[in-house]
């Protein structure tokens, strides 16, 4: 049976925890949903109406009415809501505008600090966002229906990729300006708990898990075949075959549908070093040799250069693992499972043998996970285990290009219960740390607002 990973990635850990989310949003949306259709509240366009409008400007960044409307729709979609009262809608618009002003302030600060984001990072963020939508809507087909575009079109959309780029810039500026806390005093934890305990939700059923992961890695002969194929494409290009045609047919990058065109100008520091070194040496319409990076084998075409910014297209060929490589990873885990069942320490085996750097560093510990957050097939496997038992190897898809297997050990089951300092101290501690960091962030933004040009009026005047 193939499953998605039970592992919580570093990126997913950046999201606000359920406890903190309840605290921060309870006051905002306490008025609830009423009987007025949200879609009916967005005016039907008539001749002479503005299709869009700038509702605020922060530094060099405009904020559009369509952005506020889009976030309202996403807010409703995530909550499976179709109706919202007029008062709630007005309050929501104002809060979303304030939040977007804060985002643009962070972007302006990122510009000042010369923060750049690579294409590979944007690709990873798009993959994460699509996976999030799939979890929320149930399937890729539902995602495509909701957005009116295929998943491939969503991933390659210049607008969505720019939003992902800006999101990453904001994250990097945040972690540069407000480093993540590694500890918090018990006094601060208790202060947070007593301040918000009446707003904290009860803890639902949880499981304490450990894991060992093995990635499926292509053997050297597959890498050689991929390079040989990339060289054959380069030979075809040198003999006059159209670059965009080959990119659409063979490239394994999300821009293949657009003939490999990355769609914008990018400065130095955006791309992987090997890619960037080759790309900046090209002349307009010139094609590079085959360039190897961690992503695979690239053929780059320079479309246009503007000072220290370039507009390029690429063909990407990735070494692909096959079923034999999957069997290698699976058999390695079966051997480790047998060793643990004979008495070897699971945590020590994880530290010595796991391919996942995050859980490897903690002896394979995943910690406590809510049962309701597990995918149905994951829950089925975990439900079949008794405390101390280890699962069979489970197939995982960490990204479009990285798959593997994992075994999980059930350390304990935790039944539903009210939040308590004694039983749930570590979860409260993590939430309190985020709360403290959010407080620091708000102070940073308030100070930054005084240094950035902001023009904003009454959002309701645009409706």
Convert the pLDDT of each residue in 42-83 to its tens digit.
333 344 445 578 999 998 899 999 889 888 888 887 777 777
Lowest mean pLDDT among 177-181, 302-306, 352-356: 177-181
182: confidence class by pLDDT, cuts 50, 70, 90: low
Beta bridge partners of 367: 209
Q: Is the dihedral of CA 203, 206, 212, 217 positive or negative?
A: negative
Instruction: Tell me which of 6-20, 42-56, 217-231 is least confident.
Output: 6-20
Residue-level pLDDT at 375: 80
Question: What's residue 216's pLDDT?
Answer: 87
What number of CA atoms fall less than 13 Å from residue 268's CA on the CB side? 6
pLDDT tens across 95-125, in order? Answer: 999 999 999 999 999 988 889 888 889 988 8
pLDDT digits (tens, 9 = 90+) for 14-39: 333 434 444 333 333 333 333 233 33
Per-residue pLDDT tens over the stretch 119-144: 889 988 888 888 888 877 778 888 88
The answer to whether 176 touches 113, Cβ cutoff 8 Å, is yes
What's the pTM? 0.48
Compute the average pLDDT of residues 171-175: 88
Percent of the chain past pLDDT 70, that is, above it, reads 87
Q: Are 211 and 354 in contact (CB under 8 A)?
A: yes
pLDDT at 444 > cutoff 80: yes
pLDDT at 13: 31
Question: What value does the mean pLDDT of the chain take?
Answer: 83
| Position 211 pLDDT exceeds 60 | yes
Residue 46 vs residues 52, 70, 73, 120: alpha-carbon distances, Å: 13, 20, 21, 42
């Amino acid at each position: 049976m193939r499953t998605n990973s039970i592992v919580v990635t570093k990126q997913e850990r950046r999201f606000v925890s359920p406890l903190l989310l309840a605290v921060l949003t309870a006051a905002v949306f306490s008025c609830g949903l009423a009987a007025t259709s949200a879609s009916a509240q967005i005016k039907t366009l008539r001749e002479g109406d503005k299709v869009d409008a700038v509702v605020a400007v922060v530094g060099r960044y405009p904020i559009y009415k369509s952005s506020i409307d889009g976030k309202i729709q996403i807010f409703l979609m995530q909550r499976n809501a179709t109706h919202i009262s007029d008062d709630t809608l007005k309050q929501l618009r104002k809060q979303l505008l304030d939040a977007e002003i804060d985002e643009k302030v962070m972007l302006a600060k990122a510009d000042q600090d010369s923060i750049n984001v690579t294409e590979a990072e944007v690709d990873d963020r798009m993959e994460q966002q699509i996976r999030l939508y799939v979890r929320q809507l149930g399937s890729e087909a539902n995602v495509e229906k909701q957005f009116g575009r295929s998943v491939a079109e969503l991933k390659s959309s210049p607008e969505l990729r720019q939003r992902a780029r800006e999101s990453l810039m904001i994250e990097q500026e945040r972690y540069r300006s407000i480093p993540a806390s590694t500890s918090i005093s018990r006094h601060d934890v208790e202060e947070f708990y007593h301040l918000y305990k009446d707003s904290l939700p009860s803890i639902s059923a949880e499981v304490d898990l450990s894991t060992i992961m093995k990635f499926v890695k292509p053997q050297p002969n597959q890498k050689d075949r991929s390079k040989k194929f990339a060289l054959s494409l380069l030979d075809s290009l040198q003999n006059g075959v159209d670059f965009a045609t080959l990119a659409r047919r063979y490239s394994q990058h999300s821009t293949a549908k657009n003939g490999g065109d990355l769609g914008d100008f990018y400065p130095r520091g955006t791309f992987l070093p090997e890619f960037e070194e080759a790309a900046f040496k090209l002349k307009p319409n010139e094609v590079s040799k085959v360039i190897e990076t961690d992503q695979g084998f690239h053929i780059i075409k320079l479309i246009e250069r503007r000072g220290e910014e370039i507009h390029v297209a690429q063909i990407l060929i990735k070494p692909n693992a096959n079923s034999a490589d999957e069997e290698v990873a699976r058999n390695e885990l079966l051997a480790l499972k047998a060793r643990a069942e004979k008495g070897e320490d699971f945590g020590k085996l994880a530290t010595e043998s796991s391919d996942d750097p995050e859980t490897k560093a903690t002896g394979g510990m995943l910690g406590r996970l809510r049962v309701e957050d597990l995918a149905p097939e994951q829950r089925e496997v975990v439900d079949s285990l008794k405390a101390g038992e280890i699962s069979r190897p489970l197939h995982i898809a960490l990204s479009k290009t990285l798959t593997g297997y994992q075994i999980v050990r059930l350390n304990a089951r935790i039944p539903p219960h009210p939040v308590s300092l004694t039983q749930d101290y570590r979860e409260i501690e993590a939430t309190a740390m985020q709360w403290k960091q959010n407080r620091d962030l708000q102070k940073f933004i308030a100070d930054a607002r005084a240094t950035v040009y902001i023009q904003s009026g009454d959002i309701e005047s645009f409706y």
